[in-house]
């Protein structure tokens, strides 16, 4: 039995206790046997959940017991995801009409619905647990942007918007779409988000933090497993149709991957303190790099990638 089956119809309560690596294994399995676009659509139908039904009261009680420093840590860890979900929701529209095949377009409509649900999930959590609500969602998103580093802002705000606008202006130019899927599905979702989700959810599970959030965020990760597999499948097929697309994928990875890995790496000034606590400061960028390497292989490319320091010996 595949690892996906127990997660296929798992409720939010069941997902609270599900190790994130079980969800990530769905991606790895999908990379071995790439499903059809229709099967990805059927997975979406089977894996529905409701942001409205989550009860955040236990999470709020934990937040109220936290000190200022821990609260700041949680804000820095989660703000990029909240802003990122809103950014990908806002920028996916042009991709749908630009897709060259109807089955691709159909699946992407499900992804747009997913991204909107993820944004609402985070909006509820920030309002009801963290107490951050500026009435208008746009104003709340502007408020939390201060907790994002410059690399995250470049990737999630500037780059996603730039590529989406080029796709909108020239929807028949496949070069823009190939670059956009490389950035959106492979770099943002399949590299950055995957590493961040893994770090946050594993820490929260080990420390029994934010149980309701864990269920919802694991559901988010399950949704994004479909998106990532779609992106890898699409890029593989585009390269098979026309080898010139391989150069576009390579150029996009060369451009965005180093910034994405830097976004996951602590600032140099914090690394000595992290090492003093016998914690590996490079675990997330190293995991992200390994994840990226897997996807590049399935896409059909062999590329030199940035180097991340080896694990320290404590």
Residues composing the chain? 314
Mean of the per-residue pLDDT values of the chain: 92
* For residues 230-250, average pLDDT: 97
pLDDT in tens, 98-127: 999 999 999 999 999 999 999 999 999 999
Of 157-171, 215-229, 270-284, least confident by mean pLDDT is 270-284
**59 pLDDT more than 60:** yes
Beta carbons of 204 and 214 less than 8 angstroms apart: yes
* Complete domains list, the chain, with CATH: 29-45+52-299 (1.10.620.20)
**278 torsion bin: left (phi>0), alpha (psi -120 to 50), beta (else):** left
- Out of 13-17, 76-80, 108-112, 298-302, which region has the weakest mean confidence (pLDDT)? 13-17
| Per-residue confidence band for 5, with pLDDT thresholds at 50, 70 and 90 | very low
CA dist 162 and 156 (Å) reads: 10
143 is written with which tokens?
């408020």
Q: Any residues with CB less than 8 A from the CB of 32 and at least 6 apart, and which?
A: none
Q: Which residues contact 141 (CB under 8 A, 6 or more apart)?
A: 82, 83, 86
**Spatial distance between the Cα atoms of 211 and 231, rounded to a whole number of angstroms:** 30
**Long-range contacts from 272-280, C-beta under 8 angstroms, 24+ separation:** 275/312, 278/314, 280/311, 280/312
Residues 299 and 249: their CA atoms lie apart, in Å, by 9
Structure-model confidence comparison of residues 308 and 63, the more confident one: 63
The sign of the CA dihedral 303, 307, 308, 313 is positive
Q: How far apart are CA 82 and CA 121, in angstroms?
A: 9
Q: What does the DSSP 8-state code read for residue 4?
A: T
pLDDT per position as a tens digit, 174-194? 999 999 999 999 999 999 999
**Rounded alpha-carbon distances, angstroms, from residue 82 to 39, 109, 168, 177, 192:** 28, 20, 24, 24, 14
Close Cβ partners of 249 (under 8 Å, ≥ 6 residues apart): 178, 179, 182, 235, 239, 299, 301
Among the ranges 199-213, 269-283, 298-312, which has the highest mean pLDDT value? 199-213
- Residue 154, helix vs strand vs coil: helix
Evaluate if residue 42 carries a pLDDT over 90.
yes
pLDDT at position 281, please?
A: 83
pLDDT of amino acid 3: 40
d(CA 120, CA 123): 5
* Rounded mean pLDDT, 18-45: 91
pLDDT at 7 over 80: no
């Amino acid at each position: 039995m595949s690892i996906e089956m127990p997660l296929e119809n798992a409720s939010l309560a069941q997902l609270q206790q599900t190790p994130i690596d079980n969800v990530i294994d769905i991606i790895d399995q999908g990379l071995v046997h790439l499903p059809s676009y229709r099967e990805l659509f059927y997975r979406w139908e089977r894996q529905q959940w409701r942001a409205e039904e989550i009860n955040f009261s236990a999470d709020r009680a934990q937040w109220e017991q936290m000190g200022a420093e821990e609260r700041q840590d949680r804000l820095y860890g989660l703000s990029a995801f909240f802003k990122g979900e809103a950014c990908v929701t806002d920028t996916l529209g042009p991709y749908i009409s630009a897709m060259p095949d109807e089955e691709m377009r159909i699946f992407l409509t499900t992804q747009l619905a997913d991204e909107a649900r993820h944004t609402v999930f985070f909006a509820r959590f920030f309002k009801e647990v963290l107490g951050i609500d500026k009435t208008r969602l746009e104003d709340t998103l502007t408020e939390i942007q201060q907790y994002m580093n410059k690399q995250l802002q470049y990737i999630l705000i500037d780059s996603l918007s730039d590529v989406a606008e080029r796709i909108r202006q020239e929807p028949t130019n496949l070069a823009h779409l190939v670059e956009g899927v490389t950035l959106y599905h492979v770099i943002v979702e399949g590299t950055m988000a995957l590493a961040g989700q893994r770090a946050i959810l594993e820490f929260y599970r080990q420390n029994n933090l934010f149980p309701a959030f864990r269920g919802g965020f694991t559901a988010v990760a399950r949704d994004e497993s479909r998106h990532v597999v779609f992106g890898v499948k699409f890029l593989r097929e585009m390269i098979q149709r026309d080898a010139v697309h391989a150069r576009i994928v390579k150029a996009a990875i060369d451009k965005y991957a180093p910034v994405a890995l830097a976004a996951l790496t602590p600032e140099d000034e914090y690394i000595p303190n992290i090492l003093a606590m016998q914690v590996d400061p490079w675990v997330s960028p190293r995991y992200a790099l390994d994840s990226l390497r897997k996807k590049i292989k399935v896409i059909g490319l062999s590329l030199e990638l940035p180097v991340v320091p080896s694990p320290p010996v404590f």
